[in-house]
């Protein structure tokens, strides 16, 4: 591999510079973490699977008019993406109650949320990614009112597109996490990745509460067959796909 400048290494990806200051390389690792990196492991070929899944989902979203950072996927583990200034918020959309929502509210697993919840968490590992209010976001100068509105609108649109898409794959999109950034024109665009690492995905053809899980909850809960579940998501997506 050509020597290149590493700009940032996160838990699941590495960002490298390119000759063009407006373009970065996002490299997908096999490393997996959960519970703010208290649990660590490797999932064989996860980087390749997530790169392929996220590539396809970015194409689906772009075709629906959502601005994303994705430019090209030159090889199995790398994406060329627009260089952006990341907004340090995790925007979580929930269609059914699961995970921390159940733990924090007592809502039963799988309770439908109508309308879907759009929540903001502070992307800060030292603070444990706390849930934020709109007022806190403004007080912390993370985003202004108009930007918060744009984030909510984009999150809702993305949810609509992805819910419809996964439905065609016989997969229920339970919840997912998005990250956004500002490009050189100060436009808010979708960044990071969308993959089984960042979504809860339930196989509609499985009735067992554990067998239906096709996402990182398999790793979080030590359910096994993690790579196989991610592979199943990719297969269903590709079987669906008309996008090249
Ligand atoms: P939660 O129920 O643990 O709050 O997670 C909600 C969704 O966000 C779920 O699809 C997993 C995803 N997520 C991430 O992508 N990264 C994270 O750090 C966390 C906590 C959740």
Tell me the per-residue pLDDT of 26-79, one tens digit each, with 9 for 90 and over.
999 999 999 999 999 999 999 999 999 999 999 999 999 999 999 999 999 999
Q: Give yes or no for residue 103 having a pLDDT over 50.
A: yes
Residue where one domain finishes, among candidates 31, 50, 82: 82
Same domain for 34 and 61, yes or no, is yes
Output the average pLDDT for the chain. Answer: 97
- What local confidence, expressed as pLDDT, does residue 6 receive? 98
Nearest to 213 by CA among 198, 222, 201, 225: 201
Q: Give yes or no for residue 2 having a pLDDT over 90.
A: no
197 CA to centre of ligand 1 in angstroms:
8
Q: Give yes or no for residue 172 having a pLDDT over 80.
A: yes
Q: Is residue 168 part of a domain?
A: yes
Total domains in the fold of the chain: 2
Q: Is residue 239 part of a domain?
A: no
Q: Is residue 235 part of a domain?
A: no
Q: Give yes or no for residue 134 having a pLDDT over 50.
A: yes
Q: How many CB atoms lie within 10 A of CB 21?
A: 9
- What local confidence, expressed as pLDDT, does residue 244 receive? 46
Please indicate whether residue 217, judged by its CB atom, sits closer than 6 Å to ligand 1: no
Range of the domain at 209: 85-228
177 CA to centre of ligand 1 in angstroms:
6
Answer yes or no: are the C-beta atoms of 169 and 196 closer than 8 Å. no
Position in ligand 1 atom list of the atom nearest CA 215: 10
- What local confidence, expressed as pLDDT, does residue 3 receive? 80
Please indicate whether residue 92, judged by its CB atom, sits closer than 6 Å to ligand 1: yes
Q: Are strands 131-132 and 112-122 parallel, antiparallel or unpaired?
A: antiparallel
Q: What are phi and psi of 67, to 5 degrees?
A: -75, 125
Answer yes or no: are the C-beta atoms of 216 and 208 closer than 8 Å. no
Please indicate whether residue 198, judged by its CB atom, sits closer than 6 Å to ligand 1: yes
Q: Is residue 52 part of a domain?
A: yes
Q: What is the CATH number of the domain that holds 63?
A: 3.30.200.20
Same domain for 74 and 170, yes or no, is no
């Amino acid at each position: 591999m050509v020597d290149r400048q590493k700009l940032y290494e996160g838990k699941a990806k590495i960002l490298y510079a390119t000759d063009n200051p407006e373009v970065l390389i996002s490299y997908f690792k096999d490393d997996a973490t959960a519970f703010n990196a208290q649990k660590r492991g490797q999932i064989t070929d996860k980087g390749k699977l997530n790169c392929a899944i996220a590539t396809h989902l970015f194409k689906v979203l772009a075709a629906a008019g959502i601005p994303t950072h994705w430019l090209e996927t030159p090889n199995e583990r790398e994406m060329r993406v627009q260089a952006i200034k990341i907004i340090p918020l995790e925007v979580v959309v929930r269609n059914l109650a699961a995970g921390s929502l159940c733990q924090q509210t007592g809502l039963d697993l799988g309770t439908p949320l109508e309308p879907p919840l759009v929540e903001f968490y502070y992307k800060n590992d030292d603070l444990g990614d706390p849930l934020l209010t709109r007022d806190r976001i403004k007080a912390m100068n993370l985003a202004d009112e108009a930007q918060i509105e744009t984030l909510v609108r984009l999150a809702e649109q993305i949810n609509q597109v992805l819910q419809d898409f996964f439905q065609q794959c016989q997969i229920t999109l339970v919840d997912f996490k998005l990250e956004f950034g500002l490009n050189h024109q100060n436009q808010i665009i979708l960044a990071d990745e969308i993959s089984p690492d960042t979504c809860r995905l339930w196989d509609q053809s499985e009735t067992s509460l554990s067998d239906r899980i096709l996402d990182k909850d398999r790793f979080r809960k030590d359910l096994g067959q993690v790579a196989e579940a991610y592979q199943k998501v990719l297969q269903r997506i590709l079987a669906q796909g008309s996008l090249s």
